[in-house]
């Protein structure tokens, strides 16, 4: 069952985030307190959403495009699922974004964790590549 997260879900979401971070190959340490604060903000924010399943979570924000404030988009903040509900979570976030007036939902994937599989799943669901993110450690 997919539902909106509550404050009681924060510790579980933080734990899932820690597990997901371990798959990311990032050299930046995971800070559970920062994650907990972010989850709390998204739960409370009018333009934010955090959804949970048994062992999954997805979150997003709705925001105007920086180059056209009349165009609203939704940005996924995180998406992790360890219980097979990943696509149901995505469907629920997409419905939330549509209801919120977003004309586009942007999803990011981890290059370190099955990028070809994620690309296949997302393109089958109507997503198209539109941005490429590069990072550099400083």
**% of the chain with per-residue pLDDT over 70:** 95
What pLDDT score does 62 carry? 97
Residues 23-53 pLDDT 10s: 777 778 999 999 999 999 999 999 999 999 9
What pLDDT score does 98 carry? 97
Mean of per-residue pLDDT scores for the chain: 90
34 vs 37: CA distance, rounded Å: 5
**% of the chain with per-residue pLDDT over 90:** 68
For the domain made up of 3-124, the CATH class stated in words is alpha beta
Can you tell me the mean pLDDT for 54-77? Answer: 95
- pTM of the predicted model as reported, rounded to 2 decimal places: 0.88
Please count the CA atoms within 13 angstroms of the CA of 2 that sit on its side-chain side: 21
What pLDDT score does 129 carry? 86
Can you tell me the mean pLDDT for 73-89? Answer: 93
Contacting residues for 28 by C-beta, under 8 A, at least 6 apart: none
Q: Which two tokens stand for residue 64?
A: 């105007």
For 78, phi then psi, to 5°, come to -155, 160
What pLDDT score does 24 carry? 75
Q: Helix-strand-coil percent breakdown of the chain, rounded to 5?
A: 40, 25, 40
């Amino acid at each position: 069952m997919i539902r909106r997260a509550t404050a009681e879900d924060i510790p579980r979401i933080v734990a899932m985030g820690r597990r997901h971070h371990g798959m990311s190959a990032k050299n930046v340490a995971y800070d559970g307190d920062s994650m907990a604060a972010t989850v709390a903000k998204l739960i409370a924010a009018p333009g934010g959403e955090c959804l949970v399943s048994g062992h999954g979570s997805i979150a997003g924000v709705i925001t105007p495009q920086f180059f056209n404030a009349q165009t609203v988009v939704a940005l996924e903040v995180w998406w992790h699922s360890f219980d097979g509900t990943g696509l149901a979570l995505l469907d629920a976030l997409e419905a939330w974004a549509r209801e919120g007036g977003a004309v586009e939902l942007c999803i990011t994937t981890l290059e370190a964790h099955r990028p070809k599989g994620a690309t296949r799943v997302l393109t089958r669901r109507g997503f198209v590549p539109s941005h490429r993110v590069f990072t550099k450690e400083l």
